[in-house]
Amino acid sequence: MNSRVILITGGNGGLGQAAARAFLCESPENSVWLGVRARRQRAEALCGEFSERCHYVELDVTRPEAWRTAVERVVGESHRLDVLVNNAGNHHDGLLATLPPRAWQEVLATNLEAAFHGARRSCRR
């Protein structure tokens, strides 16, 4: 029987919810942590449905300090972290000529740099 502790960023979003449910249904031994930022209604609902083994944790993936705090909490309560799903992401669609550099930086920070911060912190704990 599989027994894994899984952290999924963007855990309130569509794909995050689907991945969480897949892990929770894969094995009754799996525990899932949902990283949430601004919205959390769906994360709260899933935690209510699987109250023993689904939890949410504050995690803005662009902030290395938030990664440290979140991973410490996961490992502190679940004693390990086996799987990190770097799912959180965003996009700013628009014309390149008019796309503000700040929007471009936000996309890079969320979709690219966050994967580095998360993987690094998860390996270092």
Ligand X SMILES: NC(=O)c1ccc[n+]([C@@H]2O[C@H](COP(=O)([O-])OP(=O)(O)OC[C@H]3O[C@@H](n4cnc5c(N)ncnc54)[C@H](OP(=O)(O)O)[C@@H]3O)[C@@H](O)[C@H]2O)c1
| 87 in contact with ligand X (CB under 6 A) | yes
Give me the residues paired with residue 35 across strands.
57
Q: Are 57 and 34 in contact (CB under 8 A)?
A: yes
Strand partners, 85: 8
Among 5, 7, 8, 13, interactor with ligand X by CB under 6 A:
13
DSSP 8-state class, residue 28: T
Q: How many whole angstroms separate alpha carbon 48 and alpha carbon 109?
A: 31
Question: Using CB under 6 A, which of the segments 44-52, 55-63, 76-84, 95-103 binds ligand X?
Answer: 55-63
Q: How distant is the alpha carbon of residue 15 from its chain centre? A: 11
Name which of 64 and 89 has its Cβ closer to ligand X.
89
Using CB under 6 A, pick the residue from 14, 28, 94, 100 that binds ligand X.
14
**Cβ proximity to ligand X, 28 vs 100, nearer residue:** 100
Measured from each CB, the residue nearest to ligand X is 89
